Chain A
Amino acid sequence: MLDEWLQFGTPSALGALAALILLLLVSLWRPRPARVVVPSVALWKRVSRRSPPIRAARRPRISLILLLQILAIASMVGGMADPSVRGRARPSRNIVVVVDTSGRMLAHRADGRTRFDAARASLAGAVRADDRIELFWMEETVRRWEGSGRELASKLDEIRPIHARADWTLPVDIVRHREAEVWFLSDRPWIGSKPPGGLVEFLGGEPADNSGIAFVSLEGDELFVRFVRHGAPRDAAIVVTADGRELLREDLRLEPGTRSWWRRISPGESRSVAVSIAPSDQLNLDDRAVLTRFHSNDEVRLEGPEHPALARALQAVPGIRLGRGSTAVLYRTLEGRGEATVYVDPPEAPPGFESGVRWVPREWSVADHVLTRDVQRGDLASAGAREVRGGDPILWADGRCVAAVRGQTLVLGFELSPGGWIVTPSFPIFWTNVIDFVRTGGTWRVLRTGRPAGLPSGVLEVTARDSRARFHFDAGGRELLALTTGAYRAKTSSGIVELEASLLDARESDTSGLWSAGEGASVTAAAVPRRTPIGAPVCVAALLLALLSWLLDPRSR
């Protein structure tokens, strides 16, 4: 791989090799005969004198010691000449790998592998052992790992997709300005702006063929389910069970798109109701949703002018009782986090907030906040808005904050114009977020993966079969962020409550994806000159040779 040769930084120093001539001359010089004291020279005087034999003439006598001395001097001179090994080598690449760990990556392909495994396998062939890898993936937050290409495969083996929608916009933002090449493992194309170092996609997607449950609620005895279907129409069986007992089975033809379905059921005193699609398909995470019964203690009171769209949106949230009041309080909860107040386009700013001038907003933007989760920016519209100052901003219009939250007080500084935001899907989603934000109780509740859920204040402990869940206390009780679907067990003061997390995310149910095996990876990067100094080891070798020569020389003893 390397085309190497030896070069010297200061070749003039090699002139010191002339010292070898001196060494050879010294080796030719024969000193005076050795002086040997004998008891008497009387007999030696009678021994005939003769000239030394020819073989002992003053010719250079090659000996091991002389050879070592020559090598020592040559090495020392070479070491002083700043030697280096030069060559051309492909540089190790700096690669940023972004792994999409969405639950959708667990959808099975026609070949039996998951999309995650397929994308990972196609990446493995493009990695070189000497690559420097910076790896990003999402769990409950952005995870980062740094290592070599040699270690990447084992690290990818440790990463498992979560059973939720992974919001990888944050890692995309992180790597956007990286000069390194970005390798993206997903089943969909990159959504952000292209990174400067180039983008290589390893996509394990396939055309969509999936049916899923996107929403489920149970109010009284009315079970409401919203199905999504991606791909060709499909016949499926809808199975409803209560505490494992089958209540209902119905064959249903699922057409592409969204379909709502409701039935009256009799769950009785059951603790949980599950809705399933059978048989399973490409992605089985969304084929089942489970509702758990909690005691209902929430009450919402609407005050001020009547607003039918708002009332409908709130009524769609399970466990909410609507009432009417006489003040500007929109709703309040009686348990959980405590009393919360939402002001919609109030004439005066409530305590802790300030209001600005009124104008007609045009360009909207959405803050990353639990209240705006799944709210689409394009859905936002209003005939008039006021700037809201104070608290944490959650919505902007034309660069000015128009909605903010402080503690348990939320202020929306814009009016709910007819035909605007209120007719978009983001509207009920937003109010569901609001209810989830402030309450902990409810009747039939569903636990969604990837979304923090306030648990009843009586919950003492939550355990999960899979440890990929996060729990924390706050003032109102315990909050659970489940990253994987499946069973969780909540220990309360009155006993054990079995919970089950469901996917319930229409975007994850959309399994339309692409296949790409990383075309364009810089596997043939141009070779660059490389220089490796070797002066120090050469000098050390010279010293060792000199030491060895001295040890072997009998005169040194």
Chain B
Amino acid sequence: MRIFDEETLRRLEALRLAVRRGVRSRGEGDRPTGRRGGASDFVAHRGYLPGDDPRSIDWHVYARLGQLFVRERAREERLTLHLAFDASPSMGVGEPSKATVARRVAAGLSVAAFAESGRVVLWGPSGGRRCDLLGPLLGALDAPMATAPASETLRALRMGARERGALVFFSDLWDEDAKQGLLEASNAGEAAVLHVLAQDELYPRPMDQVRLVDAETREAVERFVGADEIAQYGTLLSEHCEKWKKWCHEHGIAYVRTSSGSDWTEVVTVTLREAGILE
């Protein structure tokens, strides 16, 4: 998947993920944390305690004061970005499909993560795949994903995630069961939801009498889609989106809505920055 040109790549690399809470990770990275004990920047001295690493003893201070002090350094941890994809059939709707837009935005977020030596884990219903480099990540994004409800992806994330980190969940949010999974997956971590809707989903066209078939449940309803019905649908869709937005806000999860007709680079560099997910 070649979706970046040089200029876009430079713009994406200039971004940083705006993580408000500390994230724990096993490796060290470029991201400063409140935790101490790393090998990077000096923070302060403290008295030696049994069990401290003798290599951290500041012998110059001992020579002057005759007491053992150890040098405390700030630990710069490596950010882990979990990108979870709703793999339900409804994500295949739209031109381009919602899944395609989601993957492109995910690629943009990954570039920002890699720029600060982070790592990215892609999550689908079958599990996660960790990527440290952009090339393998793009290949993984291109790979076909098994079809399953959104809650399945979140269940796999909850069960398989070994490292805490920031979570971005891409979904059209038609699966109400995803709420519980999202809460569990984002527990004590930074989380955001990218609500992706298709252009026709946002603005249906008049179609006279049509047979509407649910992409996931195959349930069919027959409706006359005229101007009145479109207006009514628009109201219901707004309510649906507002409900999700409110729920996310109540649970400390960032909420961003976009459509498959939007330019994904604008979504990454503008919409996500305005939503505070990137900075």
A binding-site residues for B, Cβ under 8 Å = 32-53, 56
Contact = CB atoms under 8 A, between A and B. Distances in A.
A53 B226 contact: yes
Interface residues of B, number: 35
B224 A42 contact: no
Among A40, A48, A51, find the residue whose CB has the most chain B CB atoms closer than 10 A.
A40
B215 A52 contact: no
Contact of A45 (B197, B198, B221): B221
Interface in B103-144: none
Contacts of B233: 43-44, 47
Interface stretch (B71-79, B178-186, B203-211): B203-211
Given A36-B207, A46-B236, 6 more contacts: A35-B220, A38-B93, A38-B215, A39-B197, A40-B214, A52-B208
Interface in B189-224: 197-198, 200-201, 207-217, 219-224
B86 to A, nearest CB: 10
A42 B212 CA distance: 11
B218 to A, nearest CB: 9
Given A49-B223, A52-B209, A41 B232 contact: no
Closest 7 CB pairs of A and B: A39-B90, A40-B174, A33-B209, A41-B214, A43-B236, A33-B211, A39-B93
Nearest to B220: A41
B172 interface: yes
A35 B214 CA distance: 11
Given A39-B201, A41-B220, A33 B215 contact: no
Interface of A is mostly: loop
A37 B200 CA distance: 11
A35 B229 CA distance: 17
Contacts of B226: 53
Contacts of B200: 38
Given A33-B222, A44-B233, A39 B172 contact: yes
A44 B208 contact: no
Contact of A39 (B174, B209, B220, B232): B174
A227 to B, nearest CB: 109
Contacts of B237: 43
A51 B201 CA distance: 23
A107 B117 CA distance: 119
B35 interface: no
Nearest to B94: A39
Contacts of A40: 90, 172, 174, 214-216
A48 B230 CA distance: 11
A348 to B, nearest CB: 120
B226 to A, nearest CB: 7
Contacts of A44: 212, 221, 223, 233
B249 interface: no
A47 B236 contact: yes
22 contacts: A32-B211, A33-B209, A34-B208, A36-B213, A37-B215, A38-B200, A39-B90, A39-B93, A39-B197, A40-B90, A41-B217, A42-B174, A43-B233, A43-B237, A44-B233, A45-B221, A47-B229, A49-B223, A50-B224, A53-B226, A56-B208, A56-B209
A47 B223 contact: yes
A73 B206 CA distance: 33
B213 A38 contact: yes
A34 B214 contact: no
Given A46-B236, A47-B236, A52-B224, A41 B210 contact: no
